[in-house]
Structure 1
């Protein structure tokens, strides 16, 4: 699947120091995909950002569009809040 970054997602990546390489890993190999509001989905994976502390990287995607649009991206330490049991 092809992805396009919204301007907001680009701004958030820069503001939150999320590299394209890390985002690309989550987009193409997410550990989990969960439904969000409306037609959106969260592609998410637990990532070590180099500090030894793990964060959940969430990319909110509208995959009803072609190419799919990354609406926003962020990392959070609240893994249990967003992680869905298998």
Structure 2
């Protein structure tokens, strides 16, 4: 699946120090997907080795027939607030 980036999403990567590869992996191999239809939130939990703390990467995207358009992305330490039990 092809990924397209909104300018806003690229800016958030730089501002928040999130790697493009982490976002790509989160979209292609999400641990959790929230939402139905075209608008979805892809989520992946990970541990920051420097801080030794668990974080959640949330990627807000629009799923189209030919691509996934990444609209925004952020990292949060509030994993329990956003993680949905399965």
Map 1:1-86 → 2, pairs under 5 A:
1-35=1-35, 39-50=38-49, 51-64=51-64, 66-86=66-86
TM-score (norm 2): 0.88
5+ residue gaps, structure 2, are none
In 2: Cα distance, 1:31 partner to 1:59 partner: 12
5+ residue gaps, structure 1, are none
In 2: Cα distance, 1:25 partner to 1:8 partner: 19
Superposition misfits of 4+ residues, deviation over 3 angstroms? none
Higher relative strand content: 2
In 2: Cα distance, 1:12 partner to 1:49 partner: 18
What is the aligned-residue RMSD (CA, Å)? 1.6
